[in-house]
């Protein structure tokens, strides 16, 4: 057998194919990929589910045949647009991997600058640099089949999703907010500890990762279904936090971009 030929896996005695997957990064810190590499206790079992064809963080070999592409990072340059389109043309399934890929992530904060040319000059001086004026999510350029939210992604959630992909099970993102997981984990409400938190309106699935460490949610997973942003404003105000404090969090990762823009317009109209 060829050393690269995947071993046949079974589930309840039924042969289960190992899909060929590849990991790619655009403009990002690559922290989402590192989440998987750092998961030492289950890494080997996780990798046995799939046939890795490209994964720069974990292997030097690289193959151009893959069925599922996990793409981390936002699109900030024209060459990234072309690269993304090539990945999309090869992959049967394209996964937006992490908040940068799903929403633009922290990178999209630069979109608020009114004069991108000034920013480039301040950061890079006269050094030539190719960049677009904005940082944008993958779906602005190609069809995205699946989104895995988070900054970084939650490795346990990724393993669960990949397992369901391999077994052909339906993948459903949580509709409830982080608050439900926080309550289930019996955490003290961060508002009672004097910390602002977007947990009431942010999509769950992270097991209230940040609030578990008494760090208020910044909304990296985007809005929960039926997120009541207006009521969130009232909660913030009740606990003494300014509208700018809430806007800082809403604008941080890009998932609440529409809500933040509406909120700013309402503030200006007052």
1 pLDDT higher than 50: no
Question: Do 163 and 182 reside in the same domain of the chain?
Answer: no
Compute φ and ψ for 96, nearest 5 degrees: -80, 115
- Number of domains comprising the chain: 2
Which domain, by its residues, includes 211?
178-269
Geometric angle at alpha carbon 241, from 250 and 153, rounded to 5°: 35
Question: Do 142 and 214 reside in the same domain of the chain?
Answer: no
Alpha helices in the chain (DSSP H): 31-37, 43-47, 78-90, 99-103, 116-124, 155-167, 178-184, 209-212, 229-238, 243-252, 257-269
The overall pTM is greater than 0.85: yes
173 DSSP 8-state letter: -
Closest of 228, 173, 240 to residue 200, by C-alpha: 228
Residue 76 lies in a domain: yes
Question: Do 163 and 185 reside in the same domain of the chain?
Answer: no
Residue 173 lies in a domain: no
Question: Do 213 and 107 reside in the same domain of the chain?
Answer: no
Q: What are the strands of the beta sheet with 20-25, ordered from one edge?
A: 51-54, 20-25, 68-72, 93-97, 146-148
Question: Do 40 and 93 reside in the same domain of the chain?
Answer: yes
Residue 2 lies in a domain: no
Question: Do 108 and 191 reside in the same domain of the chain?
Answer: no
Q: Cα–Cα distance between 119 and 127 in angstroms, integer?
A: 13
Residue 118 lies in a domain: yes
Question: Do 131 and 13 reside in the same domain of the chain?
Answer: yes
Question: Do 102 and 200 reside in the same domain of the chain?
Answer: no
Domain boundary among 99, 133, 167: 167
Residue 4 lies in a domain: no
4 pLDDT higher than 90: no
At 8-24, the pLDDT tens digits run 666 666 677 889 999 99
Mean pLDDT value across residues 207-220: 96
Domain boundary among 118, 148, 167: 167
Q: Cα–Cα distance between 259 and 18 in angstroms, integer?
A: 40
At 64-88, the pLDDT tens digits run 999 999 999 999 999 999 999 999 9
Per-residue pLDDT, 113: 85
Residue 3 lies in a domain: no
* CATH number assigned to the domain comprising residue 26: 3.40.50.700
Question: Do 107 and 202 reside in the same domain of the chain?
Answer: no
Q: Concatenated DSSP letters for 32-97?
A: HHHHHHT-TTTHHHHHTTSEEEE-TTT-S-B-S--SEEEEESBB-SHHHHHHHHHHHHH-SEEEEE
Question: Do 247 and 220 reside in the same domain of the chain?
Answer: yes
Domain boundary among 110, 141, 167: 167
At 82-137, the pLDDT tens digits run 999 999 999 999 999 999 999 999 999 998 888 888 888 888 888 887 777 789 99
Cα 52 to Cα 22, 25, 94, 168: the distances in Å are 6, 15, 15, 18
Residue 121 CB-half CA count within 13 A: 5
Question: Do 158 and 69 reside in the same domain of the chain?
Answer: yes
Per-residue pLDDT, 44: 79
Question: Do 162 and 182 reside in the same domain of the chain?
Answer: no
Residue 94 lies in a domain: yes
Residue 192 lies in a domain: yes
């Amino acid at each position: 057998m060829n050393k690269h030929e995947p071993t046949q896996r079974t589930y309840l005695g039924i042969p289960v194919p190992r899909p060929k997957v590849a990991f790619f990064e655009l403009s990002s810190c690559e922290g989402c990929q590192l989440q998987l590499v750092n998961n030492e206790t289950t890494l080997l079992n996780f990798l046995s589910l799939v046939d890795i064809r490209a994964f720069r963080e974990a292997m030097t070999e690289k193959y151009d045949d893959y069925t599922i592409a996990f793409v981390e990072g936002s699109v900030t340059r024209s060459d990234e647009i072309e690269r993304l389109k090539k990945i999309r043309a090869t992959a049967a399934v394209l996964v937006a991997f992490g908040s940068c890929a799903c929403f633009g992530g922290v990178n999209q904060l630069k979109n608020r600058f009114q004069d991108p040319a000034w920013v480039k000059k301040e950061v890079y001086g006269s050094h030539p640099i190719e960049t677009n004026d904005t940082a944008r999510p993958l779906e602005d350029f190609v069809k995205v089949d699946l989104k895995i939210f988070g900054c970084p992604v939650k490795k346990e959630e990724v393993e669960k999703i990949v397992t369901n992909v391999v077994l052909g099970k339906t993948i459903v993102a949580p509709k409830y907010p982080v608050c439900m997981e926080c309550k289930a984990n019996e955490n003290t409400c961060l508002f009672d500890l004097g910390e602002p938190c977007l947990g009431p309106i942010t999509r769950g699935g992270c097991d209230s990762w940040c609030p578990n460490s008494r760090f208020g949610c910044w909304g990296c997973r985007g809005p929960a279904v039926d997120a009541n942003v207006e009521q969130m404003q009232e909660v913030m105000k009740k606990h003494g936090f300014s509208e700018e404090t809430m806007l800082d969090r809403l604008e941080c990762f890009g998932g609440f971009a529409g809500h933040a823009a509406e909120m700013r317009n309402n503030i200006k109209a007052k």
